[in-house]
């Protein structure tokens, strides 16, 4: 385990009873990117990490509890990502604190505090919004085909559960193929604890390779026993598809199931216009994917 991560990962730690910014942990992204030949100075993608924290709460100065959903977004070109367990503990440290004379003032004060702490930690701009009810119902992935619903998925054998790029097969032609596909079978494991992480993956790909959709599903299934953080899985998938299919369009989104009251939704694309427009914005609370 990296010394930076060992601060909270794999350890039993009591929830802080008071505001505790010191518990936050920043993890260098480059630790995992090196093995996939992803270089900080020439990233092959743009994108964001969008987080939803469903258990943020605090008290007003008069003792009224305030609870809601925090949406947090920051760019993938930041040097660091925030480790999710440390973020959970940090957000819980607000629970019994008193902020503001009323709900509105308290929310503003708490958001400003969180924004300041995370911006300092990650050395990048962090966008935040707080929701006490669902105000939006936008969704970016209505027209994506679910790979496991393909009839052929029932007729082939799946027996590889360790990431294997060779499972990706295609035929290069002069004809361009565009795919928008998804799966609710996304599963990987935490890099440190090896606990399972579940989610949905969405891929938008346009290439002169005629791509075998079942082979693509087999590849996605093959990451079942990979041990990486959520952001790292998304970037691994992106880089494998980039190297294999030389795409004109490539977007990968991994929307993970919440764990510890937080879900992480990394999104990567080769151009800004291919990023899903709603989930990447803190000011929109989007409709959840099936596995979220």
Tens digit of each residue's pLDDT (9 = 90 or more) over 96-132:
999 999 999 999 999 999 999 999 999 999 999 999 9
Does the pLDDT value for residue 149 go beyond 80? yes
Does the pLDDT value for residue 3 go beyond 60? no
Which of 190, 234, 254, 265 is catalytic? The answer is 190
Please tell me the pTM assigned to this model.
0.93
76 is catalytic: no
Class of domain 5-131: alpha beta
CA distance 235 to 232: 5
Q: How far is CA 264 from CA 139, 153, 172, in A?
A: 16, 28, 34
Q: Do domains 5-131 and 145-274 have the same CATH topology?
A: yes
Q: Which CATH number fits domain 145-274: 3.50.50.60, 3.40.50.10490, 3.30.1330.10, 3.30.1130.10?
A: 3.30.1130.10
Q: Are 99 and 106 in contact (CB under 8 A)?
A: yes
Which of 49, 197, 234, 254 is catalytic? The answer is 197
Domain assignments of the chain as residue spans, ordered by start: 5-131, 145-274
What are the tokens at 166? 């060779």
CA distance 251 to 257: 20
CA distance 46 to 267: 8
254 is catalytic: no
């Amino acid at each position: 385990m990296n010394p930076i991560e060992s601060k909270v990962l794999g350890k039993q730690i009591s929830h802080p009873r008071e505001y505790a910014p010191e518990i936050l942990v920043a993890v260098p992204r480059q630790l995992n990117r090196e093995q996939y030949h992803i270089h900080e100075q020439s990233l092959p993608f743009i994108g964001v990490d969008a987080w939803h924290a469903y258990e943020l709460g605090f008290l007003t100065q008069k003792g009224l509890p305030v609870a809601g959903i925090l949406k947090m977004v920051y760019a993938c070109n930041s040097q660091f990502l925030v480790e999710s367990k440390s973020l959970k503990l940090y957000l819980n440290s607000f629970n019994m604190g008193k902020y503001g004379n009323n709900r509105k003032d308290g929310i503003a004060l708490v958001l400003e505090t969180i924004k300041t702490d995370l911006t300092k930690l990650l050395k990048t701009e962090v966008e935040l919004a707080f929701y006490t009810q669902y105000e939006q119902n936008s969704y970016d992935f209505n027209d994506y085909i679910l790979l496991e619903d393909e009839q052929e998925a029932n007729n082939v054998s799946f027996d590889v559960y360790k990431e294997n790029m060779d499972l990706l097969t295609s035929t290069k032609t002069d004809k361009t193929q565009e795919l928008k596909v998804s799966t609710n079978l996304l599963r990987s494991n935490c890099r440190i604890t090896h606990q399972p992480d579940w989610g949905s993956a969405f891929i938008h790909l346009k290439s002169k390779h005629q791509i075998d959709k079942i082979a693509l599903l087999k590849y996605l299934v093959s990451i079942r026993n990979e041990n990486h953080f959520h952001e790292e899985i998304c970037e691994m998938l992106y880089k494998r598809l980039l190297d294999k299919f030389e795409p004109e369009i490539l977007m990968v989104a991994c929307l993970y199931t919440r764990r510890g009251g937080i879900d992480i939704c990394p999104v990567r694309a080769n151009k800004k216009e291919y990023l899903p427009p709603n989930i990447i914005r803190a000011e929109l609370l989007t409709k959840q994917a099936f596995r979220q």
